[in-house]
Structure 1
C-alpha cells in the first residue's frame, strides 16, 4: 500500500477505543448482575463423589422433597421454665403448614432437659433464593405469638440468610473500595491526573466483559457462581488489569523518553511488553484452569471464571490502553514528564548495586528469613472453622446456635443421616446408638418423620442420629468418621452416613485431595511456561522454587496472624489451595516481568549487567504492581466472612513479600551469584552473542529516572 493510500495512524486507536466504549456500555451492567445467577446454597457445591452427596440423593425416597430446615428456639423472657408453653408453641408453628416456602409440616415444639427452652424444626424449600429472608420473617412472626418468650432462628436456613446478607451489595461496595485503593496508589505512582483514570477505565471495561461472559456461562448452567467466586472475580480482574497496565505504560514512557512519537511509542510498548503480559496471563489462567481437577464444585467454578477474568484483563491492557496512549501521547503523563516520572531511581540503583556487590550475603539473608517464616506453616489448621468464627461480626444465626447448644444436645436440629439396607436395620440402629459422640438415634418413616420402627423404602431404612457436639466442630466430624468406620464394617448393611456434618467432613477430605492433585499440576504448568519464555531450564526451576517458598513463608505468618490477631482457630479447607494458586501464579507474574527484561538486557550487555539493568528498570514498576494487587485483594476484607478475610490477608501479604523480598532481593542475588550458568542448558551462546551485537543499536539507555 502506498503512503498516499495508508489510513491515518490514529484510525486504529480510535476504532479500538470505540469498540471498548461499546463493550462498556452494553456489557458493563453485567458487573452488577452476577448476583442474579449466583447461589449461596452450599449443598450445590458438595464433592461429586462423596458419601454424603450420595446420601443426599438417596434421601429423596424418604421424603417428599429436599428441605432447608430452620430451627425455631423459644426461651423465656424472665429466664424461667417455658415447658408450660409447649402446646401453644406447637400450635402456632403448625399453623405454617401449607404456607408459601414451606416444604412440609413443622415438627412439634420439644422442651429441653432443663425446661428452659423449646425448639421446633420447620422444613423450608431449598430453592427459595431471594424469598428465603421473607419466609424466615414469617416463621419468626408466627413463633413470636407465644407470649412471654424470646424467639431465635438457627440452623442451615438461618445461616444461609446471614451469608446472603454478608454478600449483599458485594458488586457495589467491593468494587468501589478496590477502585478507590487503586486510584490512590496510581496517583502516587504516576503523579499524573489523567493516566490513572485511563488505567481504571480499562480495568472496568475488562471487568464488564468478564462478568458478561461469566453471566452467560452461569445462566446456561456451565459454571456455578457463589458470592465468594463473584467477589474474587472482581478483585482478580481489577488487580490483573492494573498490573498489566503498569507494565505497558512504563514501556510506553521509555519509548517516549528516547524520542519516539506517540504512535510509535505505543506500538513499541505493546510489542515489547506483550510477551511478558501474555506469559503472565497464561500462567495465571492455566493455574486457575487446573482447579477443574477439583472434586469441589466451587473450586471448579473459580477455575474457568478466573481464567475468563484474566484473559479479559490482558486483552484490555494490550488493546484499549495502548490505543489511549497513542492518542494522548505525553499528555497522558501530565503534569509529570515521561522522562521524569515519579521520583528518581536512586533506590533501585542502590538495591541493584547491593545485589551486584554482595549477592551471596543478600540471598543467604533473604532465604534464611523466608525459611524461618515457613516454619510457622506447620501450625496452620485448615480443618475448617466453627460456625461462630465463620462471620467476623455478630450475626443472629450464630447467637441462636450458641443458645441452642446451651439447652439441647449441640447437634440437635442438624442430625447425622444414616441410610442402610432394611435387613440390617436392628444392627445398624444398635451400632449408631453405641458409637461414641452420639446422643440419640431416631428411626424415620416414608416421609422422613420420626417413627417407632424404621419403615423401609425400596429396601432401605433411614435413621437420624443427634451428635453431642455442635455440627460444625471437629468433634462432630470425628463422630461421623467413627460412625462410618463402624457401619462400613457391618457385613451386608451397605450403610451410608450423610447430613450437614458429614458434608463438612467430605468437603475437608476433598480439599486435602485437591491439594495433593492440583498443586503439582500448577507447578508443572508454570514451569513449562517459564521454560518456553526464558529458553532455559535452570532459571524456571529457580523461579518456581522461590515462589513456592514465598507461599510457605506467607502461610507461616498467616498462621500466627489468624490465631493471635484475628482470634481464629483455623481456616476453611479451601484457603490454602486458593492461596497457593493465587500466590504462586501471581508471584511468577512478577518474576516473569523481571526475568524477561533481564534476558532482554542480557542479550545486549551480558548476564551481570543485564541483572542490574533489569532490576533498575523494572523495580518501581513491579513494586507498584505488587502494591496495587495487594490493595485490591485486601479489599476483600470488607466482606465479613472469615474465608475471604483470610484469602485477602494471604494474597496481600504474600504479594508484598514477593515483590519486596523474593523478586527484589532473592531472585536477582541468586541469578547474579550463578552467573551465566543460570541460563543452562542454552546459556548466552554464540547465537545470543550475535543477538547482542544486533540489538546494541536498538538499546534503550538505562534511564536516569525511575520508570515507575
Structure 2
C-alpha cells in the first residue's frame, strides 16, 4: 500500500469536507433550485440590447464637437449610414441625376414612408468633384441622416426600407454600409453564432475530458457543473447590470461562456483526479470525496479568488468598455468557483466509482494511465541547480525574443473592417472606398469657432490648403469649395461665428493608421491655425476617427492603472497563499514574460503576416488581464502543492515529487481552457479571432513552458531565498541544493494526477 503523504488537512477543512459530503443531496437540490429561480426571475446579460458602440461616453470631446456643430448649423455634417450605388464601367448620368433628386425630395419631406430618416446628401465622384476621388463617374454615396434618438438597429432598418421602396435594379445599389450598420451586423453575428459556438465548445470539452479520464461520465459531470455556472452568471450578471445601471454588452456572452467552460472544467479536473487516485488506492466513495474536497478546496478557492481579483481589476479603468468587461469576468469566475467547491464534491460523493464509467470497462477501480514516461526523471533533473540555471536563461531568452514584436503594436477600433470579407456591409464599404477614398464613409469634421471667423475667406482658404497637405488626408471640403452652394450654409454659419471642414482620410477611418493620422493632426492643428492667420478661435474634431482616437488614447492611459491593479491583486493572493514575498514576485514575473511573448506573437501574426491595420483596442489588454489571472491559477495549482509538501521535506524533493503529476494535470486543464478560448475564432469577427488566438496561445505558453519548466527552474535557482521573509520552510528548504531522489512509494503531494 503506498505511503501516505505528509500533508494533513486542517480541522476546519476536514469539517467542511465532511459537511459537503454528508449534505450532498441537499447541495445538489439547492443548486438546481438556484438555477431555476435565476431563469424564472432574473434577466439575462445583454437584456434589452446593448452593444459596444453604446459604451462610448456621450461626454467625450469628439461627441461634444459634433453636438456644437449641430447647434451652430442646425443640421449635421456627418452621417454614419450610407447607400452605395456603383458600376465600375460608369453610372449613367440619368441614375446620378435621379440620386440627387431622390435625396432632395427626401430632405424636403416628400417621402413620408422614409421616417425616421430626416435628410439625405448625395456625393458623387463624377468629374472628381469630390477631391481625392480615385475614379470618375462610377459611384454615388447617399448619406442618410436620422434623429439622434434613433437606435442603431432602427437606423439600419430605416435605410434598408428606404432602399427597398425607392431604388430599383437599374440604380446599381451595392448595399447599405457605414459604422452604424457595421455595429448592428457585428452584434447580430455574435448572437447568431453563439448557439453553434456553445455546441462546438461543449463537444470539444467533452472529448478532452473523456479522453483524459477514459470515461463518459466524467465529462458529463464537468459540463453539467459548468452549465450551472453559466446560467447563473448570465442571469445574476444581468440582474446586477440592471440594478447598477452598468451596460454589459451582448458581445461578452461568447467570452463569458468560453471562460466558464474552461475555468470550471479546470476545477473539476483536479477534483476528479484526486478522487480517482483515492479510489485506485482502495478508498470508498465518501472517503475519496472527502479527501479530494479537503485537499483541493483551499487551492481552488484561492485560485478562483485570485482570478476574479485579476479580472475585476478592469473596474479601475477610465474606459467604459473595460469597466463593462471587468465585473462580468470577475463574477463569472467567482460563481464558477463557488459552484465547483460545493457541487462537484457533492456529485462525486453521490457517483463514486461510477464517475469513471465507460462502456468498455464499466466503473474503473484502477488508474487508466501513468504520468508520462520519464516525467519523474525529468523533474528530478530539472530541480538540480546546474540544470535549472541554463534552462531558466533559455526560457527567459526565448520569451523575451517572442515578445519583441509588441514594440510595433498598434491599436484601432474597426467596425466595418472587422466584418467577414464576404459580408454585404463590408462589400458595400469596399465599393465606396474604391470609387472615392478609404475614409469616405466616416469622414472627420473640423469645427472652427470664433467671432466673425466665417467671414475670413483668405484665412479659411489658407487653413483648407494646409489641411490638404497633412499626410494621411485624402481630401478636404470646406468654406473655400464651390461644390456646395454657399446659400445652404453647409460650411459657414449665417452669423459668421463658426466654420467647418470635412476631412476624408486616406486609410480605413477606424484603423490604427487613421487614428495615428488624427493624433498627428490634433497635435499640429494649433500651429496650422496660427499659420493661416486665424486668432481667437477654438477648434475641435468630430467623427468616428476622432472618437476612435479618444478610445485608443483612453485605453493607453488605462494601461498603467489596469496593469498595476491586476498585478497587485494577484501578488497579494500569492503572498497570502505562499506566506512569502520573493517566490510570488518571481512567479508573477514569469507570468509577465508569458504575456509579453503572447502579445508579441499575436502582433506578429495579425499585423505583420495578415496585414491588419492594428489590433482591436481592447484585445491586448483584456487578454493580458485574463492571462495574469489564469496564470496565477496555475501558479497555485502547480507550486501550491509543492510548497505544502515542502513543510515536511526539502523543497527540491517536494518539487521533484509533485511536478510530474501537477504539471500533467495543469496541461490537461490548460489544453481544455485553450480550446474553449480558441473556439471563439468561430465568431466571424476579427476582434474575436484576435482574442481567441491571444488567449489560447497565452494559456498554452503558460502551462507548457512557464508552469512546467520556467517556474520550477526559477524556484530551484532562488533556493532558500524564495521563502523570504517567511520561515515556514526553514531548515528544510536549505536542502534544496543537496542531491537526493524522491522516496520510492511516497504518495504524490497532490492528487491532481490524471494518470
Q: How far does the alpha carbon of each residue in 1:212-237 deviate from its partner, in whole angstroms, 9 at most, with x for none?
A: 01212333462222243222111111
Whether the aligned pair in 2 keeps the contact of 1:550 and 1:662 (CA below 8 Å) is yes
Q: Which of 382, 388, 398 is 1:359 aligned to?
A: 388
Q: How far does the alpha carbon of each residue in 1:473-505 deviate from its partner, in whole angstroms, 9 at most, with x for none?
A: 455434433543354466532322111111111
1:4 maps to which residue?
A: none
1:143 deviation in Å?
Answer: 4.9
1:319 deviation in Å?
Answer: 1.1
1:67 deviation in Å?
Answer: 8.7
Q: Distance in 2 between matches of 1:505 and 1:276?
A: 43
1:56 deviation in Å?
Answer: 4.5
Whether the aligned pair in 2 keeps the contact of 1:414 and 1:499 (CA below 8 Å) is yes
Segment drifting more, 185-194 vs 391-400: 391-400
Q: Do structure 1's residue 122 and structure 2's residue 151 form an aligned pair? A: no
Q: Which of 407, 421, 441 is 2:477 aligned to?
A: 441
Q: Distance in 2 between matches of 1:21 and 1:286?
A: 27
Q: Distance in 1 between matches of 2:232 and 2:499?
A: 49
1:425 maps to which residue?
A: 453
Q: Which of 190, 197, 209 is 1:167 aligned to?
A: 190
- Provide structure 2 residue ranges, at least 5 long, that are not aligned to the other structure: 1-17, 129-135, 482-486, 530-534, 734-742
Q: Which of 504, 507, 528 is 2:551 aligned to?
A: 507
Q: How far does the alpha carbon of each residue in 1:420-478 deviate from its partner, in whole angstroms, 9 at most, with x for none?
A: 4341633684435532226233469xxxx951562279x96362413242423455434
Segment drifting more, 211-220 vs 549-558: 211-220
Whether the aligned pair in 2 keeps the contact of 1:203 and 1:242 (CA below 8 Å) is yes
Q: 1:268 to 1:467 in 2, by over 3 A?
A: same
2:97 maps to which residue?
A: 87
Segment drifting more, 337-346 vs 355-364: 337-346
Q: Distance in 1 between matches of 2:490 and 2:266?
A: 65
Q: Do structure 1's residue 337 and structure 2's residue 360 form an aligned pair? A: no
Q: How does 1:650-665 map to 2 (within 5 A)?
A: 650-665=694-709
Q: How far does the alpha carbon of each residue in 1:520-567 deviate from its partner, in whole angstroms, 9 at most, with x for none?
A: 221122111111110001110110110100111122222332246544
Q: How does 1:268-347 map to 2 (within 5 A)?
A: 268-334=291-357, 335=362, 337=364, 339-347=366-374
Segment drifting more, 145-154 vs 630-639: 145-154
Q: Do structure 1's residue 467 and structure 2's residue 504 form an aligned pair? A: yes
Q: Distance in 1 between matches of 2:417 and 2:119?
A: 32
Q: Distance in 2 between matches of 1:474 and 1:586?
A: 29
Whether the aligned pair in 2 keeps the contact of 1:550 and 1:657 (CA below 8 Å) is yes
1:238 maps to which residue?
A: 261
Q: Distance in 2 between matches of 1:268 and 1:460?
A: 78
Give the TM-score normalised by the residue count of structure 2: 0.83
Q: How far does the alpha carbon of each residue in 1:556-585 deviate from its partner, in whole angstroms, 9 at most, with x for none?
A: 222332246544343112221112111111
Query: For this pair of structures, how many residues does the alignment match?
Result: 687
1:29 deviation in Å?
Answer: 8.2
Give the TM-score normalised by the residue count of structure 1: 0.88
Whether the aligned pair in 2 keeps the contact of 1:634 and 1:652 (CA below 8 Å) is yes
Question: What secondary structure is seen at the aligned counterpart in 2 of 1:55?
Answer: helix
- Provide structure 1 residue ranges, at least 5 long, that are not aligned to the other structure: 1-6, 690-695
1:620 maps to which residue?
A: 664
Segment drifting more, 302-311 vs 13-22: 13-22
1:693 maps to which residue?
A: none
Q: 1:160 to 1:386 in 2, by over 3 A?
A: closer
1:692 maps to which residue?
A: none
Q: Do structure 1's residue 407 and structure 2's residue 435 form an aligned pair? A: yes
Q: How does 1:593-604 map to 2 (within 5 A)?
A: 593-604=637-648
1:14 deviation in Å?
Answer: 0.7
2:11 maps to which residue?
A: none
Q: 1:683 to 1:69 in 2, by over 3 A?
A: same
Q: 1:263 to 1:562 in 2, by over 3 A?
A: same
Q: 1:219 to 1:247 in 2, by over 3 A?
A: same
Q: Distance in 2 between matches of 1:87 and 1:106?
A: 14
Segment drifting more, 154-163 vs 422-431: 422-431
Whether the aligned pair in 1 keeps the contact of 2:647 and 2:729 (CA below 8 Å) is no
Q: Do structure 1's residue 350 and structure 2's residue 380 form an aligned pair? A: no
Q: Distance in 1 between matches of 2:474 and 2:609?
A: 35
CA RMSD of aligned residues (A): 3.3
Q: 1:199 to 1:475 in 2, by over 3 A?
A: closer
Q: Do structure 1's residue 52 and structure 2's residue 62 form an aligned pair? A: yes
Q: Distance in 1 between matches of 2:573 and 2:178?
A: 47
2:113 maps to which residue?
A: 99
Q: Distance in 1 between matches of 2:729 and 2:19?
A: 43
1:203 maps to which residue?
A: 226
Q: 1:706 to 1:350 in 2, by over 3 A?
A: farther
Whether the aligned pair in 2 keeps the contact of 1:621 and 1:707 (CA below 8 Å) is yes
Q: 1:626 to 1:28 in 2, by over 3 A?
A: farther
Whether the aligned pair in 2 keeps the contact of 1:340 and 1:706 (CA below 8 Å) is no
Whether the aligned pair in 2 keeps the contact of 1:393 and 1:640 (CA below 8 Å) is no
Q: Distance in 2 between matches of 1:392 and 1:117?
A: 23
Q: Which of 481, 490, 493 is 1:455 aligned to?
A: 493
Q: How far does the alpha carbon of each residue in 1:85-138 deviate from its partner, in whole angstroms, 9 at most, with x for none?
A: 233223445458443652412224645321222221112456435545543321
Q: Distance in 1 between matches of 2:275 and 2:519?
A: 60
Q: Distance in 2 between matches of 1:19 and 1:685?
A: 41
Question: What secondary structure is seen at the aligned counterpart in 1 of 2:646?
Answer: helix
1:632 deviation in Å?
Answer: 0.3
Q: Which of 27, 36, 39 is 2:38 aligned to?
A: 27
Q: Which of 548, 551, 575 is 1:531 aligned to?
A: 575
Segment drifting more, 333-342 vs 244-253: 333-342
Q: Distance in 2 between matches of 1:301 and 1:704?
A: 38
1:596 deviation in Å?
Answer: 1.0
1:368 maps to which residue?
A: 397
